[in-house]
Amino acid sequence: MSSTTSTIAVRVVPSVEELPRAAWDGLDHGSSPFLKSGFLAALEGSGSIDAAKAKGFAASKRRSGWTSLYVLVDLGGRLVGGVPAFIKSHSYGEYIFDWGWANAAGRAGIEYYPKLVIAAPATPATGPRMLLARDLDPAMRTQIRAALVAGVKAIADDTKCSSIHWLFCTEEEQAALAAMGFIARATYQFHWHNRDYASFDAFLAQLTSRKRKQLRKERAKAQGAIEKLAWISGREMDEDRLDDLDGFYRNTTDNHGGRDYLRPGFFHLLAKEMPDAMQMVEVTANGGKRIAGALFLETDRALYGRYWGTKAHIDLLHFETAYYAGIDRAIEKKLPLFEAGAQGEHKLLRGFEPSRTYSAHWIRHPGLAEAIADHCEREAVGVAAEMAELAKAGPYRESETEPAESG
């Protein structure tokens, strides 16, 4: 699409309820479902994030600490760009951590909060953060991106935010933002990549003999302790299933000292808003009783594992439910990518590989900005070295000299 006569107009709406939802969802979201209006509506409707007040874009005083604002760009009356922005009063639920930056700012007497974050709330999944119409030509893409960034900076000024943070953006977006003066930061996660495997056994055949045997033993032990593991779509989830899924999630946050970013009602709303993308791995035992479950979101290009929990401790059930079942699913559906969440070096030995993640940052205070830019430059060197070492330590066979199947 090319336009030299239409006017670019930037506007901001304070709630997903005021988004033109069909047009927003029609923008390019890549493989990720986490900025679709349905996911955002489930977050907002459950109070997991808060809508901004209509006047003055004032941050909400409710408990979530995520106050939403959506930057929209229209071209000739048509939505061609959008950015989800959140005023934050803390750094929880972001997964590209800046606690050290906040502490340094505090020691220097610099107010770090509120800040402005562009991300999928409580969701460490990579995807476009500047959502664009798919038919824009390169020159117009550049103009629309510039308008979106200008809109984001205007919000930061209006709300007196100390900084702007684009989290889990794409590599291309990071480069574009760096050209606009943002600080690029390098981080990584562990992702599983489907190399056109015909089956789980075909995937195992690419691992070293020792790791192949280990994964088979883990699966056999977990499967032997349960009655059944089944995939249940959002359309199949009744109130009891959704109540149990919510309970599994809260068991995990309670038992492991986490924060319950997702408020009660989120899973129920998600099933209504995104019934086809939402998937639950349901684990039953003892005559069909549900004892564990995990939430996944699925698109035609990727599988995303999210929230896991259980009512009973069973050795290795977490790996079976959150990792191996997801690998099985990605192979069956021929999905090229499976992201199973943040952190977790234990994923490496189960076939997940270190994969770079991207963010870009603007800091209002010049001195703090200089220090953070220096930190990110040095950090990137360490991240690259660490990823290289992790790749060497992975479970895949290093050469074709090792038999593909040795037991």
CATH number, domain of 63, equals 3.40.630.30
The pLDDT of residue 398: 67
The pLDDT of residue 137: 96
The pLDDT of residue 52: 85
Pick from 213, 209, 232: nearest CA to 279:
232
Largest CA distance in the chain: 68
User: Model's pTM, two decimal places?
Assistant: 0.93
In a domain, 295, yes or no: yes
In a domain, 2, yes or no: no
The pLDDT of residue 162: 98
**Does residue 295 sit in the same domain as residue 327?**
yes
The pLDDT of residue 343: 75
Of the three residues 324, 351, 378, the one that is the final residue of a domain is: 351
In a domain, 3, yes or no: no
- In degrees, to the nearest 5, what angle opens at C-alpha 167 toward C-alphas 161 and 168? 170
**Does residue 102 sit in the same domain as residue 244?**
no
**Does residue 167 sit in the same domain as residue 197?**
no
In a domain, 179, yes or no: yes
**Does residue 129 sit in the same domain as residue 219?**
no
The pLDDT of residue 72: 98
**Does residue 14 sit in the same domain as residue 25?**
yes
With a cut of 70, say whether residue 402 has pLDDT above it: no
**Does residue 196 sit in the same domain as residue 126?**
no
Percent of the chain residues past pLDDT 90, beyond the cut = 86
pLDDT-based confidence at residue 168 (cuts at 50, 70, 90): very high
The pLDDT of residue 258: 67
Residues 14-30: pLDDT tens digits?
999 999 999 999 999 99
Long-range contacts of residues 22-28, Cβ cutoff 8 Å, at least 24 apart: 23/78, 23/79, 24/70, 24/79, 24/82, 24/131, 26/79, 26/133, 27/79, 27/80, 27/81, 27/82, 27/131, 27/132, 27/133, 27/134, 28/128, 28/131, 28/132, 28/133, 28/134
Pick from 125, 192, 156, 151: nearest CA to 358:
125
**Does residue 160 sit in the same domain as residue 221?**
no
In a domain, 395, yes or no: no
pLDDT-based confidence at residue 324 (cuts at 50, 70, 90): very high
The pLDDT of residue 22: 98
With a cut of 60, say whether residue 284 has pLDDT above it: yes
**Does residue 221 sit in the same domain as residue 179?**
no
CB 176 within 8 A of CB 168: no
With a cut of 60, say whether residue 239 has pLDDT above it: yes
In a domain, 181, yes or no: yes
Position 120, amino acid: A
The pLDDT of residue 2: 45
Q: What token pair was written down for 386?
A: 């660490």
Of the three residues 351, 380, 402, the one that is the final residue of a domain is: 351
In a domain, 219, yes or no: yes
**Does residue 169 sit in the same domain as residue 239?**
no
Q: Which of the given ranges, 225-229, 253-257, 395-399, has the highest pLDDT on average?
A: 225-229
With a cut of 90, say whether residue 292 has pLDDT above it: yes
Mean predicted confidence (pLDDT) in 234-261: 89
**Does residue 175 sit in the same domain as residue 282?**
no
Segment among 172-176, 252-256, 340-344 with least mean pLDDT: 252-256
Show the domain range for 42.
8-189+356-390
The pLDDT of residue 397: 80
The mean pLDDT value of the chain amounts to 92
**Does residue 147 sit in the same domain as residue 296?**
no
Counting the structural domains of the chain, the total is 2
**Does residue 134 sit in the same domain as residue 205?**
no
Residues 100-153: pLDDT tens digits?
999 999 999 999 999 999 999 999 999 999 999 999 999 999 999 999 999 999
Higher pLDDT, 345 or 256: 345
In a domain, 50, yes or no: yes
pLDDT-based confidence at residue 259 (cuts at 50, 70, 90): confident
The pLDDT of residue 400: 38
pLDDT-based confidence at residue 257 (cuts at 50, 70, 90): low
Phi then psi dihedrals of residue 48, to 5 deg: -70, -30
Residues 174-209: pLDDT tens digits?
999 999 999 999 999 999 999 999 999 999 999 999
Place of tokens 């599983």: 192
The pLDDT of residue 39: 98
With a cut of 50, say whether residue 216 has pLDDT above it: yes
With a cut of 60, say whether residue 62 has pLDDT above it: no
